[in-house]
Amino acid sequence: MDFEQRARELDLDIPDFSVTPYTGPKYGTMKSHHQVGSLLFLSGHVPEYPDGTPLYPGRVGEDVTPEQAIEAARLTALNCLAGIRYALGDLNRVAAIVRSLNFVVCAPDFYEVGRIANGATDVFRDVFGEERGIGGRATMGVVSLASNVCFENWLTVEVTD
């Protein structure tokens, strides 16, 4: 399957990090990704637009509705796809999503963090298919993230040559 074509069919607006750089380094000393053998490790990606503006800042269950947080998770997934494309040249080198680690900034009594993470992992499934697009996943509710974003994703991807 051609994953670049699939992303176009889904009408996904994936940023081009070669034009508008990955915004992660503004958070400290880091790089966008690191590859070891056939594994690509993406640094934390968040729901920011190319100009660095976060989508729905705040806490889910207080400032942000679950529906808004799911939308933020989807934007995060698009940024992850941009990170994959930037690291590998195109999405067709993806063999599989290995692991997705998700962080949801939420009120202490908000327990649907997995539902929020579905916003991101559903995008990976839609692009790469059930077999390649769904990997292991963990999702945690946290007190805060940099720039008051409501969601963050760390992704590990198996790649082909």
DSSP 27: G
Within a domain: residue 26? no
Give pLDDT, residue 21: 80
How far is it, in rounded angstroms, from Cα 151 to Cα 48?
Answer: 10
Within a domain: residue 30? no
Pairing label, strands 39-45, 136-142: unpaired
**Is residue 123 within 8 Å of 12, Cβ to Cβ?**
yes
Give pLDDT, residue 161: 85
Q: How far is CA 12 from the centre of its chain?
A: 13
Per the structure, the count of domains in the chain is 1
Within a domain: residue 77? yes
Whether the pLDDT of residue 139 is over 80: the answer is yes
Q: What percent of the chain has pLDDT over 70?
A: 99
Whether the pLDDT of residue 144 is over 80: the answer is yes
Give pLDDT, residue 112: 97
Within a domain: residue 99? yes
Within a domain: residue 23? no
Dump pLDDT digits (tens) for 86-119. Answer: 999 999 999 999 999 999 999 999 999 999 999 9
Dump pLDDT digits (tens) for 43-83. Answer: 999 999 988 899 999 999 999 999 999 999 999 999 999 99
Closest CA to 71 of 116, 18, 112: 116
The boundaries of the domain holding residue 84 are 3-10+37-159
pTM: 0.96
Within a domain: residue 20? no
Entry field: residues in the chain: 161
Pairing label, strands 151-159, 94-105: antiparallel
Within a domain: residue 79? yes
Within a domain: residue 131? yes
Which pLDDT band, with edges at 50, 70 and 90, does 35 fall under?
Answer: very high
Q: How far is CA 113 from the centre of its chain?
A: 15
Q: What is the CATH number of the domain that holds 94?
A: 3.30.1330.40
Mark 68-93 as b/e (b = at least 16 C-beta within 10 Å): bbbbbbbbbbbbbbbbbbbbbeebeb
Give pLDDT, residue 94: 98
